[in-house]
Amino acid sequence: MPRQRQGLTVRSFQVSKGSDGVPRDIAAFAECWNRGQFFAAHEILEVRWIQEKDSGLQGLIQLAAAMHHLSKGNLRGAKTMLERSVRRLCDPDNAPCALDEAALAEFARQLHDRMDTCRPQQLIESRPLLLPG
């Protein structure tokens, strides 16, 4: 059930059903994301992405980087990372992930669309919380 925070809808995304447990790096990513530690979230998945080169992982990394840019007031950097993350999170060839990449891509699109009308802190607070299923 979405909740309202400063005029923006905040959602919680569940880990995809049917996963045989959540990989530790994805769980750590979610924990850092939920705490607002976006740079750390980005770093956690870098090692795996370097090995696997999965577009979905890269999209998650770029979404976390966009949020980090927002937290530093770098709107241009945030917009660029949001645009890149949407393309990668929507790639049909992505490996299965414990997070709902399509829902996160939609969040990134909405965030991008609101950047000219909301303060960075409002946008950061509108992020979905990533919860275990």
The per-residue pLDDT for 6 is 39
CB-based contacts of 20, cutoff 8 Å, min separation 6: none
- CATH classification at residue 72: 1.10.3450
CA-based R_g, the chain, Å: 14
- For residue 130, which phi and psi values (nearest 5 degrees)? -95, 110
The per-residue pLDDT for 132 is 54
| Predicted confidence (pLDDT) per residue in 97-131, tens digit | 888 888 999 999 999 999 999 999 999 999 999 87
CB atoms within 10 A of CB 4: 9
Let me know if residue 104 belongs to a domain: yes
State how many domains the chain has: 1
Cα-Cα end-to-end distance for the chain: 14
| Predicted confidence (pLDDT) per residue in 29-72, tens digit | 999 999 999 999 999 999 889 998 989 999 999 999 999 999 99
Let me know if residue 2 belongs to a domain: no
